[in-house]
Amino acid sequence: MDTPFRKGRWLTGLSGTISSNTNKERNSDEKRITNEFGLNLSTGKFIEDRWLLGGNLRADRGSSSGNIDRTTESLFVGPFISYYLTDSQRGSLFARLSSGYIRYREETSINELDNPIREVSEGGGLGALVGLGYSYVINDQIAFDIGFDLNLFWVSIDQEQQPSGTVGSQNISISNTAFSFGFNVILDDFFF
């Protein structure tokens, strides 16, 4: 039997992430640490043995509360390429690289003041995802993936502060390291 990661096969999967996130604004020295979760849907075709080319859709959400309540949401869409390092029947280490469009939204409320302040930030930009993991093949058509992802986003946001109505814009960079896990289905033919 050959590697399950062979030319002409399709791989479709759903994975989840758990992460610790650090956001740093370029116009200030403020850093925020947040716990986050996400879902990733991906599909691709092996263009050569162990070389997977496809697309992915990723949605992330994080929140923190206290004197300052903060909720962040992001949606990433883009192509990816993966390389599986060995041709073993049981599985392989793999590396993944993706770049694409990111849509970002953040809502912040400062609750400790007499008049609470609410700030909404929203915008789009570029993102890059780098992953390293191991794919364990349960049988020739089912695989379990586990690994780490590094996500880098560069976003131009518009901000509005209420009740004052102050409006501004700035560029932010977001880095995120995540532990990911999920299942994949490996098919000889894609039925859609």
Answer yes or no: are the C-beta atoms of 149 and 56 closer than 8 Å: no
Model pTM? 0.85
Confidence class of residue 53 from pLDDT cuts 50, 70 and 90? Answer: very high
User: Higher pLDDT residue, 18 or 150?
Assistant: 150
Beta carbons within 10 angstroms of residue 159's beta carbon:
16
pLDDT at 110 exceeding the cut of 70? yes
pLDDT, mean over the chain: 90
Residue 165 has pLDDT above 80, yes or no: yes
Torsion of CA 60, 63, 182, 186, to 10 degrees: -20
Mean pLDDT across the stretch 51-59?
97
Average pLDDT over residues 93-105: 98
Residue scoring higher pLDDT (88 or 69): 88
d(Cα 102, Cα 127) in Å, to the nearest integer? 6
pLDDT at 167: 92
pLDDT for the residue 178: 85
Q: What per-residue confidence (pLDDT) applies to 66?
A: 66
10-187: what CATH class?
Answer: mainly beta
Average pLDDT over residues 14-35: 73
What per-residue string of b and e applies to 33-42 under the rule 16 or more CB within 10 Å gives b?
A: ebebebebeb
Distance of alpha carbon 14 from alpha carbon 57, whole angstroms = 10
